[in-house]
């Protein structure tokens, strides 16, 4: 069994590689929209103009992708600056763009301020009013939500496996203690049995001496008794 607490690395912690993969997926989604993939999204009746509706799809996603790439870097200072900017903009004005940018920051892995649970909540709130987003944004939200749900599922499975392993380790430790206690008890019983056997042999020797003394001629009884007594005292 594994001794000590197990430290398993979550399967989702892939750092900047994961961010780049998300960015490529989003870019492909935008390209698909430009090639006629818009009909795959739910039709909207006269969508209102939003803070990002006037932007072309590629430019509309650039802010989100840059945020994710900054958070996926190996520079802690850059990560802190990018996340702080996204958080402050969302706190100051929780528009659709700022909410999506902050949600993307929360679900991006590899930086200290990540919070996939809160990010998932914001993404789901955005999908509750899809008419407030342009098609490219809706696609990005859908991609991020799929990735986040998969990540949270893996984290839950990871915790379950760790708990199971911990329970098994404790059970094995208890089992080892019971086995050791049984070994010690068996050794004690063997010692007690050996002592009892020695006492039994001594009693048998006394009985044999008494029988021999009783069957000897009268003139030899005193000598036999003395020898028996000396033998017993010698033990």
Choose between 92 and 26: higher pLDDT: 92
The answer to whether residues 122 and 145 touch, using CB atoms and an 8 Å cutoff, is no
Choose between 219 and 129: higher pLDDT: 129
pLDDT at res. 170: 82
Nearest-angstrom CA–CA distance, 138 and 130: 7
Identify the CA nearest to 141 among candidates 106, 94, 111, 92. Answer: 106
Choose between 202 and 143: higher pLDDT: 143
pLDDT grade for 2, boundaries at 50, 70 and 90: very low
Identify the CA nearest to 29 among candidates 145, 126, 148, 135. Answer: 135
Nearest-angstrom CA–CA distance, 150 and 156: 10
Q: What is the pTM of this model?
A: 0.54
What tens digit of pLDDT does each residue of 38-80 get? 444 444 333 444 444 444 444 568 999 999 999 988 899 999 9
Mean pLDDT of 85-100: 95
pLDDT surpassing 60 at residue 29? no
- Break the chain into its structural domains and give their ranges: 16-159
The answer to whether residues 101 and 90 touch, using CB atoms and an 8 Å cutoff, is yes
What tens digit of pLDDT does each residue of 144-178 get? 999 999 999 999 998 898 888 888 888 788 778 78
Mean pLDDT of 111-125: 95
What tens digit of pLDDT does each residue of 188-231 get? 888 888 888 888 888 878 877 777 777 666 555 555 555 555 55
Identify the CA nearest to 105 among candidates 80, 73, 62, 71. Answer: 71
pLDDT grade for 23, boundaries at 50, 70 and 90: low
Nearest-angstrom CA–CA distance, 125 and 33: 23
Instruction: State the CB neighbour count (10 A cutoff) for residue 113.
Output: 15
Establish how many alpha carbons lie within 13 A of residue 85's alpha carbon, considering only the half-sphere containing its beta carbon: 13
């Amino acid at each position: 069994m594994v001794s000590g607490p197990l430290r398993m690395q979550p399967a989702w912690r892939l750092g900047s590689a994961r961010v780049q993969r998300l960015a490529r997926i989003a870019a492909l989604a935008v390209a698909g929209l430009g090639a006629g993939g818009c009909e795959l999204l739910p039709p909207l009746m006269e969508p209102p103009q939003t803070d990002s509706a006037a932007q072309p799809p590629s430019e509309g996603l650039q802010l989100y992708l840059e945020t994710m790439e900054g958070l996926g870097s190996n520079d802690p200072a850059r990560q802190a600056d990018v996340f702080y900017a996204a958080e402050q903009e969302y706190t100051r004005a929780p528009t659709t763009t700022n909410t999506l940018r902050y949600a993307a920051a929360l679900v991006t892995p590899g930086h200290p301020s990540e919070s996939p649970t809160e990010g998932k909540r914001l993404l789901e709130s955005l999908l509750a009013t899809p008419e407030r987003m342009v098609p490219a944004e809706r696609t990005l939200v859908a991609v991020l939500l799929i990735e986040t749900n998969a990540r949270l599922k893996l984290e839950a499975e990871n915790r379950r496996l760790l708990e199971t392993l911990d329970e098994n380790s404790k059970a094995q430790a208890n089992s080892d203690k019971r086995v050791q206690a049984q070994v010690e008890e068996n050794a004690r019983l063997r010692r007690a049995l050996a002592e009892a056997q020695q006492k039994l042999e001594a009693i048998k020797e006394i009985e044999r001496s008494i029988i021999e003394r009783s069957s000897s001629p009268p003139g030899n009884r005193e000598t036999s008794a003395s020898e028996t007594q000396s033998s017993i005292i010698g033990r």
